[in-house]
Structures are given as C-alpha cells and as structure tokens.
Amino acid sequence: MLRRRLNRLCGGDEKRVDSRTIYVGHRPCPDTEAFILSKFCDNRIVSSKYTVWNFLPKNLFEQFRRIANFYFLIIFLVQVIVDTPTSPVTSGLPLFFVITVTAIKQGYEDWLRHKADNEVNKYPVTVLEDGRSVKKESEKIKVGDVVEVVEDETFPCDLILLQSSREDDTCFVTTASLDGESNHKTHYTVPDTEMDLQALTAAIECEQPQPDLYKFVGRMHIYKPEQEPAVRSLGPENLLLKGATLKNTKKIYGVAVYTGMETKMALNYQGKSQKRSAVEKSINAFLLVYLCILISKAVVCNTLKYVWQSKDGQDEPWYNQKTQKEKDTNMYLKMFTDFLSFMVLFNFIIPVSMYVTVEMQKFLGSFFITWDKDFFDPEIQEGALVNTSDLNEELGQVEYVFTDKTGTLTQNNMEFIECCIDGFQYKHRDTPSELDGFTVTDGPVNKLQQKAGQEKEELFLRALCLCHTVQVKEAGSEEVLTDQVDGIDGVLPQPEEERGFIASSPDEIALVKGAMNYGFTFLGLESKNMKIKNRENDIEEYKLLHVLNFDPVRRRMSVIVQTKSGETLLFCKGADSSIFPRVKSEEVDRIRMHVERNATEGYRTLCVAYKQLSAEEYAVADTGLREARLALQDREEKLMAMYNQVETGMSLIGATAVEDRLQEEAAETMEALQGAGMKVWVLTGDKMETAKSTCYACRLFQRGTELLELTVRTLEDERLKREEKLLELLRDYHKRAVQDAPPVKAGVTRSWSTANQDYGFIVDGATLSLVMNPPREADASQYRSLFLQICQNCTAVLCCRMAPLQKAQIVKMVKNSKGSPITLSIGDGANDVSMILEAHVGIGIKGKEGRQAVRNSDYAIPKLKHLKKLLLAHGHLYYVRIAHLVQYFFYKNLCFILPQFLYQFFCGYSQQPLYDAAYLTMYNICFTSMPILAYSLLEQHISIEILLDNAALYREIANNAMLRWRPFLYWTVLGIFQGLLFFFGVRFLFSNPALQDNGQVFGNWSYGTIVFTVLVFTVTLKLALDTRHWTWINHFVIWGSLAFYVFFSFFWGGIIWPFLKQQRLYFVFANMLSSVSAWLVIIILILLSLLPEILLVVLRKPRGPHSRQKKPSQSNVGGNQSSLSSARPLLMRTFSDESNSVI
Amino acid sequence: MMASSYNAKDEDHHPGSVGSGGPGAVKSKKPDNTAFKQQRLPAWQPILTAGTVLPAFFMIGVIFIPIGIGLLVTSNNIKEFEIDYTGVDMSSPCFSCSQNYSWNSTSVCTCSVPFILDQPFESNVFMYYGLSNFYQNHRRYVKSRDDSQLNGDKSSLLNPSKECEPYRTSDKKPIAPCGAIANSLFNDTLELFYNHPNGSRIAIHLVKTGIAWWTDKHVKFRNPGGNNNNLSIVFHDTSKPVNWRRPVYELDPSDPDNNGFINEDFIVWMRTAALPTFRKLYRIIQKKKDNMTPTLPPGNYSLEVTYNYPVRSFDGRKRMILSTISWMGGKNPFLGIAYITVGSVCFFLGVVLLIIHHKYGNRNNNADIPN
C-alpha cells in the first residue's frame, strides 16, 4: 500500500518507464535528445502515519474499521437515537475508553516516528553545488545532487559512488542497520570518472526503485568533450545505500539516485503481512455464537412482548399511560425500535473489554519472553526479541517445526578439518609436528603414507588463498594498508591466527584460515592485487581480474587471476554436485570417495578446481563478462550464462572438509520437540549426506529409523523414465509408511511406541520440483497427496538441496493441508526468510548470517536451544492463559446477562434493566477485569520446570484443545446454569419482599443488586478456583476487586448524586447488607453455583494422570486419520508455478 | 489439610547464565533477574483433591443443615394472614365498589370484609397491602419519576424531568410529584376492627410511620422550600397528579413530618416493586405494652376498606396481609428449604466422595507423583 501511495506521490510523471535518467549535478548532457529534469520525490522520509491535522479523523476511521469497534459504535448510536433502557453512557464510556487508549498509544508511537523522521530529515549534509560545498538539510537533497559524506556518517540517500578519498577507488561500508551484517563491505567508484567532479558531465540510467537491497542495475554515460561518450556499468557494488555507514574512508562523493521514500531502505520498510492466530479465529467463531444468542434473545423477547401486549389492558393500563409520541409511532417502527432496545439491553454479552484485555494480555505477556534470562546469550549479549505479540499463544499450538540446518541446527562456526589433494588426505593437527603442521594422516584411504606432489599441494593451497571474497580486517588506521609491504615484518611476529578476516560466509574464513595453517597466508587485496605469503615467506602477488560471485543456485564461485608471470588462471570452488560435471571425469573418482565420506561424517565439503586460460580464452571471457555486467536488462541471466560458459573444462585439484558443529543442546531440543508431538522437518540447502549426518547427530533419525529416500539418485533407473520411477517410489513408500502402519500408532511418535517402525523421509530439491510440477499436469494432485501423506506419517523429514523459495513452498503445502496444522519455521539466514514469513510462527536465530531472519521473524532467540523453553514453557502457558481468558470472558458475560433476559419475563417485556447503569458499565471494566488479566499473565497451572521436563504435556493442549466446541459448551452451560441460579434464587426470595427485620420491603433495584452481588462474587471466586498459581498479585487483585466492588457500592449508594435525574441505588446496597436473608441467599447461591465446579475438579482429578497419556494420542490419531483421506484438491491451489524457475 | 505447597523457587537455578557475561558488561541488555520478570514469584499452589474437598463438604453439610432447620422453623413460626378484598366474586363484600368505580366520582365507596384469626399474633404485627398483576417494574413506569423534584429541588419542582411524560404537566402547570409512579399512588384506606366476643367493636390502632426506609424518609425525599411549614404555598404553582383527589400537601395534614413528599405511604409506593405481584408495608400494629395479651388475639375482625383503587381493568388483585416479622423478615420457607437441601446434598456428596476416595485413593497417590 505504501508503495502504491509512493508511486502516486513521487513517480507520477515517469509512470511505466522502466528506467530513470539522472543528470549528475543537474548538468545537461550534450547529445541527449532533450534535457528534461524529471521530477523525483524529495529526500524526505515519512514513516509516520498521521499529521496533527488528520490524526483524529484518520485514526478514528482506522479504529472503527475493526469489526468489534464498529459493532460497539453501532450499539452506541442506537442508544443515542432510540429510546433504550440503558443510557448511551453505559456503552459509550467503555468504547470511548478503548478508543482513547488506542488512539493515545498510536499517537505516541506516531509522535516517536515523527521525531525519528525529523532527526533524519533535518540532518545536515554537504552538497556540491556549482563547485561550492553547501550545507543543506538532508530532506532537501534532490536526485542528481552530488553529496559529500565523511567517515562514520550514514548515507542520506542512495548514492552512486563517484569519488573516494581512498587511493584504490573503494570505500568501506557497514550495513549493520540495514541487514545486521556488521562486516565491512567494499564498494567501488565508477571506473574512469574524472577526478574533477565539477567537470564531470554524465547521465545515469538506472532501473526504477525496487526494494531488493542486493540488486541494482544501471549504466552511466560519461560525456567528455570531443570524445565518444563512455559507458560504464553500475551494479550493487557502486551503490551506497541510505542507512549504511561509511567506514575506514575519509570521505566520498556520490550522486543521489534514489531519494526519500524511494530509497531501498524505505522500500524495505513495509510492514509484514499480519499473521492471525488460531485463538483469534476461535474467538470470532464464539463471537458468532454469542451474536446468535443475542439476536435470538432479542427476537424471543420482542415476540413475547407483542403477544403479551395484545391482551387487554396489558399494553397501557391506566397507571402507565404512553406519551403522545409513543402513541403516534407506527407499529412496525415501534417493533423495530423495541428489537433494537432489546439488542442494546443484552449487548453486554459481547464485551468490549474482552478485546482490550486480550490485547493487553498479549502485549504485556510478551514481555515475559524478552525478560527471560534463560534466553540471554552471554556470547552476543542479547536476549530474546519479540517482534509481534499477536502470536504468543500460537507458540503453544505448533504441530510442524521447519528448521534450517546451517546456523540453526549447527553453529555455523566453521572449522577447517581436513582436505584432500589429488586423492590424498591431509589432516591438520594442532601440534605442529613436521613441516609447518602440514601432515598426512594415516587414514584408511591413504595407507601408503603418500603425499601428493609438491606442485599440486601448492596449487591447491594457492587456490584456497585466492578463490574467495575475504577481506583482511584493518587495524583501524589506513597506515596498515599503505605501508603493507613494510608492515609485514611487523605482522609476522604475531601469531598468525590473530589475523582478522571478514567475509560474508564463514566457510570462506575457515578455508583461508585452513590454508594459513598449511603455510599460505592471505595478506589482503590492494588495488586489485591479491597478496599471499607462501611457505617460504615470499610475497606472491596476483592480479584479480574477475570475481564470479557465489550464488545459491549455481552453488560455486570463481576468481580469475593473473600471476606475475602473466599466466591467467581460473580457480573455482563449490559444491561437489556443481563442480563434478565441470571437470574431467577421471579426476572425479579419486576425490569423490573422500567427499562422500566427509559428508557422511557431517562435514561441509567443497571441491576446488582450476583451469588455465589462454590469452584468447581470457579475452573472450573478459568481454563476455563485461558485456553482461553492462546489460541493463536481464543482467542476472546474462551473467549466469557467462559464468556457466567460463566455468567449464576445469581440472579438479582437491576437496576440503569443514566442520560445522552442532548447536548446543541441538539434539536435546529436537528430542523434546518430538516428544511434544511436533514433527520436525529439516529444510536445508546443503547436500544430502551432510544433512543426513546432521539429522543423525540431532537424533532426528535414529538407528532404527527406516529411511525413505526420494532423491535424484534413487530416481535413476535404467528401465524407467524419471517420472514413472517417481510414481513407483511414491506408491511404494506410501504403502510402507501409510497403509501398512498400524493405524492406532500412526500419530504417536516413537517415544511412546517403541515397537512401531519409524520412518524418516528424505527428499531433495530437484525431486521435489518434479513432485510439485510434474511434466504432465494431470499427475500433480496425485503426486502431491501421496507425497504429503508420506511426509505426515514419518517421524522426521529431511529436505535437502532446497532453494529458499522451495522451503516456503513446503511450509505452505503443510500449512494448507487438511486440518491446517500450525507451522513454525526457524532459521537464521536470509535464505530462511521466505519460510519464516510463510509459516504461522516465524522464529529467527540471532546467528552469524546477518539479521534478515531476525528482522522478518515474529520472535527471535539467540540459540536453537532456547526454542524448547519458548515452546514448551512459554507457548504452553500463553496458550492456556489466553484460552482460559477467552472462555472466562464469554462465560462471565453470559451469566451476567442471562438474569437480565429472564427479568424481561417478569416486567412485561419492557426492556427494564435488572441492574443499575453503573453496574452495567463497571462490571466488565472494574469489577471483574483485573483478576482475569492477572490470571492471564501469571498463571502457571503446571510449573515451568515440569513443563520443560515432560515434553508430552505439550500434547494436552494440541489442536486448540481448550478452545474447541466441547470446552466452549461446558463454559456456556456453566454460565447458563449460574445465570438461572442467580435469577431464580433471588426470585424465590422475593416472593416475600419483606426481608428486613423491621418489616420494610425491598424494591426492584434491591433485587438487581442482590443478583449482581452474587454474580460478581461467583465469577471472581470461580476464577479463584481455577487459579493454580497464587502469587501475591493474584491475591491482591482478586480480593481487591471484591473489596472494590463493596466499597464502590457503598459509595455509589451513599450520596445523592448531583446532576443525576435518578437516585435509584440510594442506600440500596447498605439496606441489602442489613438484611440477614439477603446475606443468607447470597452465600448459598455463591456456594451452589460453585459446587458443580468443585465437584468436577475433584472427580476429574483421579483420572487425570491416566487420561493424560491416552487422551492426546487418541485425538492425534483422529486428526491423522482424517488427514489421510484428505487434501487432494487442497494442494492443487497451494503451489505457485514459481518452483520451476528456481531449480 | 489443604494440599498445597509454598513454592519459592531458588534464584540460581541456571548457574550457566550467571557471571558469564562478565561483571557489569552490557548490563542494560541482560534481563533483570527478578522473581517477577522470570515468572518465579513465590506462589501458593493449591490443588483441589478429594482429600481436601471432603472435609469441606462435610463441614458445609454440618453447618447448613442446622441453619436451614433454624430458618424453616423461624419461617414457620411467623404468623401470616392474607385476605383478597378485590371483590371479583359476586359474593364478596367489595363487589359493588369494584364495579362502580370511576376516578371522577366524589362519593366514597366503602366495604367491610370480615375475617377470623385462628391464632394470636404476638409482638409487632405488620400490615401490608398486596397487588397482583401490577407492573411497577415496567420500564416506562420505573423511569417515570423525577428524583430531584422529590429531593426538594425548586427548579425541578416547577420544571419536572421529561421522563415524567405524560404525567408532567396538567392545566399548563407542572405536576408535583410528577410521573406515572406518583400518579398511581395506592389510595385505598384500610382500617382494622376487632369484634370483641362481648360484641364491642374495637378499632385497632395503626401506626403509619416507620414503614419507609429511614434514608428515604430523611434524605432522599425532601419537601421543597426547606423548613417552610406551609406546604400549600410551596406547592402553589404546581398541580396535583391527575388521578389524585388531594394535592400532595394534604396527604397527611395532621402530621407535618408525614406530609408532602415525605409522606411515608407515598415514599413506600415510590420504591418500585421487583415483581408484578408484590406487597408493600402499609401500617404497623404495635405490640401491647403489657406483653401479656397478644397484639392481635384470635377472633373475629373486620377490614374496613375505602375502595378507591381500581385494579379490575388490568385483571389485578388487591390483598391485605397481616404478618409478624422475625430476624429474617417475613414468612418465606424458601431459604430454609434451600439450606437444608444444599446441606444434605453436600453431606451426601461427601459420603460418595469418601467412598470413591477410599476405593481409588491408593492407586492415585502413586500416579500423582509425577505432577
């Protein structure tokens, strides 16, 4: 929505043009058709929603768009317009309260946003205008301005870097505030721009603003007098993003290309789509039931009213004449207004305050997650983070957990374990034994104690040293860099391990460090020259010609370097699957064994290959790459094609194995989750063997688990085509896992049924895409339903080789399957964002791969192990609390309004309220709201320790157990029972209204007050009975509420209130208390209403422990069986066709 | 006897997280280790089990049954006599009065209803009038009053609340007291005569004060004009309610403390009844000084009714009730029966639970341990 508005605001005159043209410094360029200064939006950041002027109408409008608020507004208006039994105040006051509090909260938040906006917008910046530096406010920057930024300043808008104070035409930037990656990133100036920016005449053509931080395509035309205009390509490496900070560079000049709300930061600012919890859906369903009750009550009363009135002398007896106006009113209009009046009278059954209390419970309750010190990680000095409080209770309802592997199950803390060069295995030992610690192990592979040739060894190590994008961390001052040649002596004495490297991927650091251990040290990159120090402590220099960047689809990266001697070499490293097809096959066999063995041990393996490029080959590659980089359209595709063309015919030199250690307590956490009845699916981009070993290490797969594999390898068959084989396998697995499984135990995970065969299911990305998008569209639904059923019957599912989008697809598939189970995704990296956003609950790990996952998550925790407490303790408690809160609210309002309904039968259906207006208003706001709020924040029906120890307790609340129709029916019946009791108990008492020992009689307001007193005490004590965890706060609020009720009643009845027309309750309460009979009836009614509850608790208790194990499994089975016969048509719709393009 | 435990959890349950952050390092970000924030507030955790509830059930039984019996006995000891004098039947003495009724007639219709008391009425006897099928709790009726006017507010006296419509003004003068409730004030006069066995007819002294709530009489209802005793001047610019025969300042001319708005019959009427069948206190017959003879000895009585109040039009009934009063108020066996029933049920449940507890108790104790 924001973007649409922006387009309207800013981009009005560029409409559907694909690119925008920017004139550097607003100088017209020769040779362009017409110099049009197109209008772009200014550099003002507006994150605030309101202004002083539109706040009231806009905020009110947005608040009344909520269906509940709107309903209450209608009720209020009806009360104002129609002659209704209760004054408009009774519903107006709570509504006003709710609206005001919300408006104040939103207004305050908006004020903070205004403040933050102003801070950014008024920030002074320096702009180059006509050769002079002019100080301006940041918001005045226009597209095309040349802006100066000095060190440690943030960029005021998106800039194209024109000039840097560094000699190598680079600058360093951290994007910590954008994506959380705190490493320094190198950005480059546009090549060959003039040093004198005043003389620079150039036009930049670039794409329209788009939110992807890592994509930018543009072209710069540089006009020089008497020369052909030069064209330079612009990529993300030339673009400095607003919000990033300049580091290690004195100052830079850049030209503004995107400003204000069109900057990438602003475009990324859009809110995530709202996730709604299952509890909210339950509330809405219950609300509907209560609305029906409300309407039927009104209809019943209205009908009876007119039946009753039709009798002679009832409608208008002599003592109770109608006013002239009433007599004149049309009969049907009268009926309608009567109906509305009844609606108003009974409208309290749907309480305004429930929404407030639920919101408050969620908001305040989420603090307990951030406050929990168990979530505090001393390493990163941070605790858990709650991005949305709407989903607290959903944490207690999770059925499927989708977890990323790298960085989530594993630490993403890479350690170089071993390498394999030319088929010989090398393992690094910490104790330097011989030759620079470079030793040959006596592993089974290498019985001959052979070493590869010296030449191969060194080539391999050089490849490790060169083929990466690692930067050397500078010691804060640029002297180190400029005096690097001298500095080496200074660096040498230091332990080499101290050298700091910065890279976007921890694998690369591990590899560079590994190479360092073997004697080859990477010293840094200086003006396109890579320096490495070899074993003889000589400095070798290589000219870096091209970097063929890593991307997850290609799964490899390459560099093209030129040696001193003029040789051009290409080094490539990547996943075995992406390297093996591109090297000579005879080399593969020697290495493959090592790679696979390492992979099964849980290491991450990378293969290293190289190729020598002849001058002609290089020339072709060079022009190809340059052209592709310059392309404005489809640059990605062109580059990809070029990369693939260059990275062929290489020779394999070796492979590396890097260990990624498991996260702390990963196995325990996984076991706890499975014990809690959740199904854990691992979705990873890693290769099958590595992922499988991780699964074994996490105890997701166990020795007895029978693995069903559905991968490219199992699909290879001589006889059959891939699709046929796939169908055959699917049928076979389905037979084994679904049909042959004993139905009773199908849903029970192995901790309870050891006798049952466990199945683990493994699928890879390529096969998955075949399942999702089979060549023949007709098979699709069949494939998918088979696939889903197999998945659902396996204890653990491993999906490897997944593209990010496929992860989201899997989550979506499960989410939309029959019974719509609650899904949870947990991940740490940018590649997990899609699945985090897709799942019901997204959890980010504050890991090493930047902060995208955290930013997009609903909850963020520092470590995987915290998930256990988050779900088993917090989730469980939140769910129980909010479920009880909701049920209790409906219950207490039912038994509040039922006596009022019954009273209509005794007052001639005249809409006479039973309770005084003050009681009607205060009941939900003051008398009964605090105890339930305290309960819903503090209740621990089972202590946290026990919840953590017995994961199975989580199953008790599975499938929204506390908000199903059965418990709802129970609460409703309880409410009806109590309402009847309250009313008729007092009714029988009032068969003789002489209740005082002086013979005086009580009137209708005394009647209502007695009922109300019983009501307030009963519902509060009912809550007290349900409370299992009495902290001092509970004591204070429960007894305090009752005391407040008594105090208020005395106060309200103790004064002749000025400005009130009616003094209905004057001394009614005090008189009631002076009557022994009233006391006795109050006591017995309270006791009698609570008796069934006490009895139920007692009777239920003995069976508790036994039912605990049986009940959930039964319900589980029920859910499962129903899901078996499910889902074919559902799945059809859930998959987009995008998966084809990804793989 | 309550199966509960005081659960103060130790604070250093997780030693791993203590001190590893270094002393004072980034203190602001580390969550406070307070009992509240860690959800470790000491808490009382009551568990309701058969063992804890059983004694409570027996206790309730033991306490409630005697109370119930006491209540029932008290209620049964209250003497109550009720007589319907509406005059629906041809045979009833007030039949003719009930037939020839019209608001405008100035003639007074009286009738005498004889009745016999079988038992003596001791102590103070309270005389009520009862109405049936009279909807004093109808919404249009309940709200048709102006409490500020009744509280003596001068401006409300002359400008009554809109709620009083259609009994707000008559003859362009404001009605005092306005509204439907006041307008329909019960205006039958009831007198009691004891027909002594020796033939003499003794009028029984009926006290007409002390029948309204003290706070109503002294605070809520005030005559306008403060201490001005001449109420006819105070109410000069107002009109009497249309159905009244006398203006408000002539309700009880004999007693200035019972006249105008603070007339107790009026105040009693203004406290609207909860149900369509109701009774209101009319007079009190105070017990005899000597304490030897009952207030109302058994024998023949006659009720002299000045029949003014029409109820036949809405199928209503009028009753006169004589009742003694106990500490729990008038006669009502409901409470006693309720207490006895609840007490017995609790006792019975206690026995059932005891049996269940004994039969299954041992097995459950073992199973309960993990919780």
Output the 3-class SS for A359-413.
HHHHHHHCHHHHHCHHHCECCCCECCEECCCCCHHHHHCCCEEEECHHHHHEEEE
The CA distance from B253 to the nearest CA of chain A, in Å, is: 24
Residues 6+ apart with CB under 8 A from A331: none
Q: Is A7 on the interface with B (CB under 8 A)?
A: no
Q: Which residue has the higher pLDDT, A83 or A878?
A: A878
Active-site residues of A, by number, are: 404
pTM for the whole structure: 0.78
pLDDT at B103 (0 to 100): 65
CB contact at 8 A, A119 and A133: no
Q: Tokens for A934, please give them.
A: 């305290």
pLDDT at A1132 (0 to 100): 30
Q: Do A992 and B138 touch (CB under 8 A)?
A: no
Same domain assignment for residues B243 and B207: yes
| Residue A842 half-sphere exposure toward CB, CA atoms < 13 A | 32
A991: chain B residues, CB-CB within 8 Å: 332, 334
Same domain assignment for residues B165 and B305: yes
Nearest 5°: the CA angle A519, A555, A578 is 90
Q: Do B342 and A1087 touch (CB under 8 A)?
A: yes
B327: chain A residues, CB-CB within 8 Å: 997, 1076
The CA distance from B108 to the nearest CA of chain A, in Å, is: 20
* pLDDT (mean) for A861-868: 89
Residue B7 has pLDDT above 60, yes or no: no
CB contact at 8 A, A805 and A688: no
Residue B137 counted as domain residue: yes
A1022: chain B residues, CB-CB within 8 Å: none
Task: Characterize the bridge pairing of strands A841-845 and B6-7.
Answer: unpaired
* pLDDT (mean) for A483-511: 53
DSSP 8-state symbol, B340: H
Same domain assignment for residues B54 and B189: no
Q: Is B118 on the interface with A (CB under 8 A)?
A: no
Element housing B192 (H / E): strand B189-195
Q: Do B143 and A1062 touch (CB under 8 A)?
A: yes
Cα–Cα distances in Å, from B77 out to A1075, B72, B122, B280, B292?
19, 9, 11, 21, 19
Same domain assignment for residues B211 and B347: no
Residue B2 counted as domain residue: no
Cα–Cα distances in Å, from B273 out to A602, A990, A1004, B181, B279?
84, 10, 5, 11, 8
Q: Do B32 and A371 touch (CB under 8 A)?
A: yes
Angle separating helix axes A55-64 and A67-81, nearest 10 degrees: 100
pLDDT at A192 (0 to 100): 65
Residue B236 counted as domain residue: yes
3-state helix, strand, coil in chain A (%, to 5): 50, 20, 30
Residue A681 has pLDDT above 60, yes or no: yes
Name the pLDDT band for A452 (thresholds 50, 70, 90). Answer: low
The percent of residues above 70 in pLDDT, for chain B, comes to 87
Angle separating helix axes A1076-1100 and B50-77, nearest 10 degrees: 150
Residue B315 counted as domain residue: yes
* pLDDT (mean) for A854-861: 84
For the stretch B273-295, pLDDT in tens is 999 999 999 999 998 887 778 88
Greatest mean pLDDT among A72-76, A641-645, A810-814, B262-266 lies in B262-266
CB contact at 8 A, A471 and A525: yes
pLDDT at A741 (0 to 100): 59
Residue A1129 has pLDDT above 50, yes or no: no
* Nearest CA-CA partner of A404 in A832, A728, A17, A793: A832
CB-closest option in B44, B49, B140 to A1101? B49
Same domain assignment for residues B352 and B234: no
Q: Do B138 and A912 touch (CB under 8 A)?
A: yes
DSSP three-state, residue A293: helix
* pLDDT (mean) for A157-174: 81
A1062: chain B residues, CB-CB within 8 Å: 143, 145, 147, 163
Name the amino acid, one letter, at A955. R
Q: Tokens for A65, please give them.
A: 């768009």
Same domain assignment for residues B307 and B354: no
Identify the residue whose tokens are 């941070």: A382
Residue B361 has pLDDT above 70, yes or no: no
pLDDT at A490 (0 to 100): 36
B329: chain A residues, CB-CB within 8 Å: 992, 994-997, 999, 1075-1077
The interface pTM score, or ipTM, of the predicted complex is 0.91
The CA distance from A382 to the nearest CA of chain B, in Å, is: 6
Residues 6+ apart with CB under 8 A from A501: A470, A471, A472, A473, A508, A509, A512, A513, A522
Q: Comparing A365-379, A504-518, B190-204, which segment has the lowest mean pLDDT?
A: A504-518
Residues A271, A955: Cα–Cα separation, whole Å = 33
Tell me the residues of chain A between 552 and 571 that have a Cβ less than 8 Å away from chain B. Answer: none
Name the amino acid, one letter, at B109. C
Angle separating helix axes A1004-1026 and A1076-1100, nearest 10 degrees: 30
Residue A159 has pLDDT above 70, yes or no: yes
Cα–Cα distances in Å, from A938 out to A394, A441, A1027, B39?
18, 59, 9, 7
Q: Is A85 on the interface with B (CB under 8 A)?
A: yes
A987: chain B residues, CB-CB within 8 Å: 275
For A942, nearest residue in chain B (alpha carbons)? B371
Same domain assignment for residues B113 and B161: yes
* pLDDT (mean) for A549-578: 82
Residue B211 counted as domain residue: yes
Tell me the residues of chain B between 17 and 56 that have a Cβ less than 8 Å away from chain A. Answer: 17, 20-22, 25-26, 29-33, 37-39, 41-50, 53
pLDDT at B138 (0 to 100): 93
Q: Tokens for A572, please give them.
A: 């490539």
Same domain assignment for residues B245 and B354: no
pLDDT at B362 (0 to 100): 52
For the stretch B220-269, pLDDT in tens is 998 888 776 788 888 888 999 998 988 998 888 888 889 889 999 999 99
Residue A180 has pLDDT above 60, yes or no: no
Q: Is A878 on the interface with B (CB under 8 A)?
A: no
DSSP three-state, residue A676: coil
Residue A268: left if φ>0, alpha if ψ -120 to 50, beta else—which one?
Answer: alpha
* Nearest CA-CA partner of A244 in A217, A263, A257, A228: A263
Same domain assignment for residues B54 and B106: no
For the stretch A709-751, pLDDT in tens is 888 777 776 667 777 777 888 888 888 777 765 544 434 444 4
Residues A315, A335: Cα–Cα separation, whole Å = 13
pLDDT at A43 (0 to 100): 81
CB-closest option in B30, B210, B330 to A376? B30
How many beta-carbon contacts under 8 Å exist across A and B?
A: 286
Name the pLDDT band for A1040 (thresholds 50, 70, 90). Answer: very high
Q: Do B281 and A1076 touch (CB under 8 A)?
A: no
Greatest mean pLDDT among A420-424, A485-489, A754-758 lies in A420-424
Q: Tokens for B4, please give them.
A: 């509960």
Q: Tokens for A1068, please give them.
A: 């009614």
Q: Is A950 on the interface with B (CB under 8 A)?
A: yes
Say what the alpha-carbon torsion angle A763, A767, A773, A774 is, to the nearest 10 degrees. -120
CB-closest option in B14, B165, B329 to A994? B329
For the stretch A620-637, pLDDT in tens is 888 888 888 777 677 778
Residues A1045, A194: Cα–Cα separation, whole Å = 81
Q: Do B329 and A1075 touch (CB under 8 A)?
A: yes
pLDDT at A873 (0 to 100): 92
Q: Which domain holds residue B121?
A: 80-325
**C-alpha A1064: how far from chain center:** 54
Mean residue pLDDT of chain A comes to 79
Cα–Cα distances in Å, from B308 out to A81, B110, B264?
40, 9, 19
Same domain assignment for residues B59 and B115: no
For the stretch A124-156, pLDDT in tens is 888 888 777 888 888 888 888 888 888 888 888
Same domain assignment for residues B55 and B85: no
The CA distance from A431 to the nearest CA of chain B, in Å, is: 29
Same domain assignment for residues B304 and B345: no
Q: Do B281 and A994 touch (CB under 8 A)?
A: yes
Residue B75 counted as domain residue: no
For the stretch B80-132, pLDDT in tens is 999 999 988 888 888 888 887 666 666 788 899 999 999 999 889 999 999 99
Q: Do B274 and A1102 touch (CB under 8 A)?
A: no
Strands (E), A483-599: 501-502, 521-526, 529-533, 539-551, 556-562, 568-574
Residue B19 counted as domain residue: no
Residues A1104, B363: Cα–Cα separation, whole Å = 12
* Total number of domains constituting chain B: 2
DSSP three-state, residue A719: coil
CB contact at 8 A, A255 and A146: yes
Residues A710, A786: Cα–Cα separation, whole Å = 12
Residues A474, A546: Cα–Cα separation, whole Å = 23
The CA distance from B200 to the nearest CA of chain A, in Å, is: 30
Q: Is A1060 on the interface with B (CB under 8 A)?
A: yes
Residue B177 counted as domain residue: yes
For the stretch A807-841, pLDDT in tens is 888 888 888 888 888 999 998 876 777 788 888 99
Q: Is B360 on the interface with A (CB under 8 A)?
A: yes
Residue A2 has pLDDT above 80, yes or no: no
The CA distance from B47 to the nearest CA of chain A, in Å, is: 7
* pLDDT (mean) for A466-492: 49
The CA distance from A91 to the nearest CA of chain B, in Å, is: 19
**C-alpha B8: how far from chain center:** 49
pLDDT at B11 (0 to 100): 36
pLDDT at A1083 (0 to 100): 95
pLDDT at B366 (0 to 100): 42
Residues 6+ apart with CB under 8 A from A1004: A912, A914, B136, B137, B142, B272, B273, B274
